[in-house]
Amino acid sequence: MNGRYDLVLVLVSVAVAVLASYSALSLAARVHRASGQARRAWLFGGAVVLGTGVWSMHFVGMLAFSLPVPLGYALGETLLSWVFAVGVSLLALYLACRPGLGWRALLGGGLAMGAGICLMHYTGMAALHMSLPPSYDPRLFAASVLVAVAAATAALWIVSRLITSSRHVPLKRFGAACVMGGAIVGMHYLGMAAAQFQAGSYCLSASDLDPLRLGLVIASLSAAMVIIALIVALVDARADSRMSRMALKLQSANEELVRLALHDPLTQLPNRLLLQERMSIAFSLARREERRIALLFVDLDGFKLINDTLGHEPGDEVLREVANRLRATMRESDLVARVGGDEFVLLLHGHEHRDSAAQVAERVIAEIERPLLLDGQDIALSASVGIAVFPEDGDEHRLLAAADLAMYEAKSAGRATWRCYSKEMERGAQDLIALQRDLRRALDRGEFVLHYQPKVRASTGTIVGVEALIRWQDPVRGMRMPGSFIPAAERFGLINAIADWVIDAACAQLAQWQQRGIDLRIACNLSPQQFRQPGLCEKVVEAMQRHDVLPGRLELEITESTAMEQPEQAQQIMAALVREGVSLSIDDFGTGYSCLAYLRDLPVRELKIDRSFVAAMDGTPRAMAIVEAVVRLAQSLDMDVVAEGVETAQQAILLGQIGCDEQQGYLYARPLPVSELEVLLSDCTLRDAA
Ligand code: C2E
Ligand code: CA
Ligand code: CA
């Protein structure tokens, strides 16, 4: 007995399959971005949509098929096949959204899913109770199983790749949906072709679910699917607009912070940061117009003594007075900045010769030596001044250091005088060469160690991970902090060798902990150069494989500014790392003027709120609002938030109140050698057990 196909219904079944795949892909992307409770909800929702879609497709395909006898479907098997379809979809989405889906998991998943699809299909076929059961052509049957497994594997692969991509998403998603839908349809019709209905057989279940009623159910389910796909798209768009509102708020918070950050609160003079910014503008102008710039580095003589004998209040008063006098001596176009306790820098335009800069220096010294009456006391002040001139003494990167050096010369020459910079003063360069040599030696002899600082869940005190911070055990100078050698290592091109060491050491530590059942994540810091070195991903993977590190255990911290520089390229590097099972964290968040559209699409697990925000939190509403905006932003990006630099219980409590539970800082622990960290860990477990 031969069946016939209704062409229109066949086409409808193809459309349903593609539609279901498209909805499921949109939902999978949401699953991927969400975490915790929300992730589970999206996962189950997605499974129901995809499963119902595949199942509807199956029955539309069945409706398209008719035999010369009336047909109907038994309710039990029909429902059971739906359960199989949803089960398989759940497995599929779960697998596709796992980070670092390896080949083995991919093949295993494809096999399991293929088997599930066959189960669904043939259970569905069994809903057709025939008086003489149909026989199956073994070759076509085998082919349908093969197509199911291959299609499932391909679909898994496509979804897991598509999730981490962010460009041309709707188009790519539609293409992928066509492939997936086509595969589902292909399997179905092969399976149908395998079934051979015997002549004279009639349908026992013809009076159960008649095709018309089933058709109605399926039509409503398909409509529901379209609606779900639309809703997901809408939710996405809403999230986008919420994000841009949040971005505006963050931007104004940022501007406020920047303003506060650029001036010295005591004297209201520009600080070092603003000086540097002004310098870079001044230098590019001077270059274009072939003019010169003079920098004067002014340091008060014996100010510490004044501070110690008179106290801080009068000391502050003296500094304010000096600031006023300096401002009064300078032209409008010149800049006066305070760069340290009793250190000021003057940026002078239009002083073509050293002589004229020296005249200004003399005037400054004379101004400062003018009598100063404080609380009826006559205070004697003087200053030493160093002069450096662009371009002969250095460029924007060197000139300040040159003026500083010259100031030291003036001090050694007996104070209350000025000196111009000269090449002979340059001993610093020698020091740098020595540092380069020492760094190479440190690498060869293994003088680096990692210290670990816990990230703590504040409400329970549990340690959720650690950050690895490099230390250099210099046999001559003792323990050295990264700030004193990482910048130099970047300059000498030694940083990548150090990065290799750090990642290898962290992986070795992870492996050791894994064996001892200690379930901790280690985060390593990457400098901008390290992040962009060619072959970074391969290196990381190689280290993880060498030590058998489980996926998700190694984390890399990348500063916000690094991630936002050439964001497209950064995103590719990040996606590759995530595919390999590395989790990513954005360091120093809030300082980098993020482009939020990019930030949202970065495959990042965690944001670390920069220390400066935490330090600014003193309980005043404005400071709190700034930090809260940052926390909300991070949360709305579905990322974990860690506040770093938590030093006081007050900060911890305030952070807790605005929902930032993961914290890191001296309040909990300083960066510790591994032995001390392990003591802390066992204390925590003991406390948990008690
Ligand atoms: P970071 O990534 O922002 O690391 C956090 C720094 O804050 C660490 O300084 C840590 O000791 C310090 N810190 C932690 N809690 C507190 C606190 O409560 N208050 C204050 N004031 N500070 C706190 P550290 O170890 O000196 O590292 C400084 C920077 O050096 C790091 O900043 C990171 O950018 C870089 N660095 C450290 N290790 C490595 C490394 O292995 N590779 C690279 N490329 N850079 C590294
Ligand atoms: Ca860090
Ligand atoms: Ca940081």
For the record, the structure tokens of 479 come out as: 């323990």
Worst-scoring range by mean pLDDT, 141-150, 173-182, 538-547? Answer: 173-182
Task: Look at the chain and count its residues.
Answer: 690
Domain end among 400, 421, 442 = 421
Distance 557 CA to ligand 2 centre (A): 6
Nearest protein Cα to ligand 1, atom 12: 645
Centre of ligand 3 to C-alpha 645, Å, is: 8
Task: Indicate the number of domains in the chain.
Answer: 3
* Residue 426 in domain: no
Note whether 481 and 555 are same-domain residues. yes
Shortest-distance atom of ligand 1 to CA 527: 44
On whether residue 97 sits in a domain, the answer given is: yes
Q: Are residues 528 and 575 in the same domain?
A: yes
Pocket probe mutation, ligand 1, options 490, 525, 533, 554, max atoms within 8 Å of Cβ: 525
- Counting ligands in written order, the one closest to the CA of 589 is 3
Q: Is the CB of 479 under 6 A from ligand 1?
A: no
Assess whether 410 and 446 both reside in one domain.
no
Domain that holds residue 516: 433-689
What are the pLDDT digits (tens) for 154-171? 877 877 777 666 555 677
Mean pLDDT across 418-424: 88
Q: How would you classify the pairing of strands 65-66 and 640-643?
A: unpaired
Closest ligand 1 atom to residue 502 Cα is 41
Beta carbon of 645 within 6 Å of any ligand 1 atom = yes
Q: Which ligand places an atom closest to the C-alpha of 590?
A: 3
Per-residue burial over 581-618, b = 16 or more CB atoms within 10 Å of its CB, e = otherwise: bbbbbbbbbbbbebebeebbbbbbbbbbbbbebbebbe
Considering the domain architecture, whether residues 397 and 345 belong to the same structural domain is answered as yes
The pLDDT value given to residue 202? 83
Pocket test for ligand 1, best of 469, 494, 503, 522 (most atoms within 8 A of CB): 469
Its pTM surpasses 0.85: no
Q: Tell me, using a 6 A CB cutoff, whether residue 454 lines ligand 1.
A: no
Ligand 1 lined by 23 (C-beta under 6 Å): no
| Model pLDDT for residues 35-60, shown as the tens digit of each residue | 677 778 878 888 888 888 888 888 88
- Same domain? 417 vs 437: no
Do 364 and 503 share a structural domain?
no
Provide the mean pLDDT of the chain: 85
In a domain, 682, yes or no: yes
Based on the fold, state whether residues 417 and 516 are members of the same structural domain: no
pLDDT at 380 over 60: yes
Same domain, 479 and 561: yes
> Average pLDDT, stretch 499-508?
96
527 lines ligand 1 (CB under 6 A): yes
Ligand 3 centroid to Cα of residue 611, in Å, is: 7
Amino acid present at 689: A
| Residue 273: count of CB within 10 angstroms of its CB | 14
256 inside domain: no
Which ligand 1 atom sits nearest the alpha carbon of residue 453? 14
Residues 549, 504 within the same domain: yes
Cβ atoms of 183 and 110 within 8 Å: the answer is no
Indicate if ligand 1 lies below 6 Å from the C-beta of 571.
no
CA–centroid distance, residue 403 to ligand 3 (Å): 31
474 CA to middle of ligand 3, Å?
24
Q: Among the three residues 421, 442, 464, which one is the final residue of a domain in this structure? A: 421
Report if residue 210 sits inside a domain: yes
Indicate the SS3 state at residue 283: helix
Same domain, 9 and 86: yes
CA 469–ligand 1 middle distance (angstroms): 6
Predicted confidence at residue 649, as pLDDT, reads 93
- Residue 197 is given by DSSP the state P
370 three-class SS = coil
Instruction: Look up the CATH number of the domain holding residue 369.
Output: 3.30.70.270
Beta carbon of 453 within 6 Å of any ligand 1 atom: yes
Give the Å distance between the CA of 527 and the centre of ligand 3: 11
Mean pLDDT across 260-289: 87
Q: Is residue 428 part of a domain?
A: no
Q: Is 666 close to ligand 1, i.e. is its CB under 6 Å away? A: yes
- The share of the chain scoring above pLDDT 70, in percent, equals 93
| In a shared domain, residues 416 and 440 | no
Does 267 reside within a domain? Answer: no
Determine if ligand 1 sits within 6 Å of the CB of residue 587.
Answer: yes
Residue 136's CB is within 10 A of a number of other CB atoms, namely: 17
How far is the C-alpha of 665 from the C-alpha of 663, rounded, in Å?
7
Ligand 1 pocket residue status of 72, Cβ below 6 Å? no
Last residue of a domain, one of 390, 421, 452: 421
- Indicate whether 257 belongs to any domain: no
Residue whose C-alpha is closest to residue 526's, from 582, 591, 603: 582
SS3 556: strand
CATH number at residue 617: 3.20.20.450
Asked if residue 495 has pLDDT above 80, the reply is yes
Question: In this structure, are 659 and 569 located in the same domain?
Answer: yes
Give 428-466 pLDDT, tens digit per residue: 556 767 888 899 999 999 999 999 999 999 888 899 999
pLDDT in tens, 30-39: 777 666 777 7
Give distance in angstroms: CA of 609 to centre of ligand 2: 10
Strand-pair category, 418-420 with 462-474: unpaired
Distance from Cα 396 to the centre of ligand 2, integer Å: 28
